[in-house]
Amino acid sequence: AVFAEPGQVLGAGQAVFRLARDGAREVAIAVPESRVGALKVGADGTAELWDGRRFAGRVREIAPAADAATRTFAVRVALTDAPADLPLGLSANVRFVREGGMAPTVPLAAILQQGRGEHGATVWVVGADGAVSRRAIEIERYADDGAVVKSGLEVGETIVAAGAFKLADGEKVRAVAP
């Protein structure tokens, strides 16, 4: 981009040009310190532009230190299949593939804490016969819409999401629609 015209008077330190490297397009994102540990250079992801177009991406660089003001880490994601004429400066939402595949997310109300931290969490799992049994789970991280379970629960298992504190092992329950 050109920021000055021939013959224009410039001030000290005023930018005249902004140069962009030719080649693969990149997205610069800020990752919270609570999530940067799960990212590795080379991790695959998807960038979705505001107009709905999606492009495959790969983490190219992770800043070694957090920004002092925002406490986020600068991450650069190379868009591996973006066209060369994709305009610079577009906004994008970037999602990453979790190692180990999908992980179940459970509502916070379904989790019973039986100790300190994330290692004392349990949920009530509903068996095929409708009987509940308490199962220990390990929480990977907490999110706005619930908790991502690292281990102890498989995708597709039925759990009790409300009233979990009132149950006893072996008690029969039936599902109701929300």
pLDDT at residue 17, as a whole number: 86
Domain end marker among 57, 77, 96: 96
pLDDT at residue 103, as a whole number: 74
Asked whether residue 35 falls in the same domain as residue 80, the answer is: yes
Asked whether residue 35 falls in the same domain as residue 79, the answer is: yes
Q: Is 40 exposed, middle or buried (CB count within 10 Å of its CB: 0-12, 13-18, 19+)?
A: exposed
23: confidence class by pLDDT, cuts 50, 70, 90: confident
Q: What is the DSSP letter of 34?
A: H
Report if residue 114 sits inside a domain: yes
Contact 54, 46 (CB under 8 A): yes
Domain end marker among 96, 121, 145: 96
Asked whether residue 81 falls in the same domain as residue 112, the answer is: no
Give the domain range for residue 136: 105-166
Sheet containing 146-151: order of strands: 105-106, 146-151, 138-143
pLDDT digits (tens, 9 = 90+) for 47-92: 999 899 999 999 999 999 999 999 999 999 999 888 888 888 889 9
pLDDT digits (tens, 9 = 90+) for 83-110: 888 888 889 999 887 665 667 888 888 8
Q: Name the domain count of the chain.
A: 2
